[in-house]
Amino acid sequence: MCKQCKTKPVYEFTNKRRVCASCFIRYFQKKFLYTIRKFKMIKKHDLIGYKPGKDFRDVVLGEMLNMFAEKAPVEIRKGVKGVNRIAINNTTDIEAYEIVEEIINKRVNVNNFLPINKKIIKPLYLFLDKEVMLYAKLKGLKFKKPVKKKDRIVGFIDEMEKKHPEIKRAIVNSVLGL
C-alpha cells in the first residue's frame, strides 16, 4: 500500500517504500526539478533545445521540459539550432553502461559523464529507465517500444542490478565524486 494515499502501489523503491500512481508522478516531477536545480542546468531566460523522438526517454524529456517551461522563464524549442542549452535524454542506465564501457576500453573522459558538459544538459540524469518508462505509461504518453541492445556490458550490468539494486546509481555517483 502507498503510505500516503492508502491505495494500490505501482512502484517500489529499493528501500521497500511503495507509491501509488499519483504519488509516483509527483515524485518524478519533483526529482526532475531537483536535478535541474542541483546541477544548475538551466538559468533564467535560457533557450533550451532538444531532439524530439519516439523513444520513451525522448517523449518524457519533451513532456518534462514543457512542464518546466510553464514554471520558469525559459523557452523550449524542438531542434538544437540557435539554442544556448541542448537537453539530451541520458538516464542513469545509459550513463552507467557508457561509463563501464569506457573503463573497459581505457578511454575514460569524466567530463563526458557529468550532468552538464558545455552546452549539453541531462535532465533525466538521476532517473533509471524503469522509472522513466513507468512515468510515460502512467501519463499515457505515446512512444515506441524500446529494442533491447544485446551487448555484453549491458547484460552484465543488468544482471548485477538484480543482485545489487543500486549498482547503476553507484557507478554514476562514483563519477560525480571524482
Please report, for the domain that includes residue 51, its CATH number.
3.40.50.620
Q: What is the pLDDT of residues 134-170, one digit of tens each?
A: 999 999 999 998 877 678 888 889 999 999 989 999 9
Tell me the pTM.
0.92
In a domain, 2, yes or no: no
In a domain, 54, yes or no: yes
What total of structural domains would you count in the chain?
1
Q: What is the pLDDT of residues 25-52, one digit of tens each?
A: 999 999 999 999 999 999 999 999 999 9
Residues of the domain holding 148 = 11-176
In a domain, 5, yes or no: no
**Which pLDDT belongs to residue 19?**
96
In a domain, 1, yes or no: no
Across the chain, what does the average pLDDT equal? 93
3-state secondary structure 57-108: HHHHHHHHHHHHHHHCCCEEEEECCCCCEEECCCCHHHHHHHHHHHHHCCCC
In a domain, 59, yes or no: yes
In a domain, 134, yes or no: yes
**Which pLDDT belongs to residue 106?**
82
Q: Is the pLDDT of residue 4 over 90?
A: no
The residue among 40, 29, 95 whose CA lies nearest residue 66 is 29
**Which pLDDT belongs to residue 93?**
94
Q: What is the pLDDT of residues 73-108, one digit of tens each?
A: 999 999 999 999 999 999 999 999 999 998 888 877
In a domain, 72, yes or no: yes
In a domain, 132, yes or no: yes
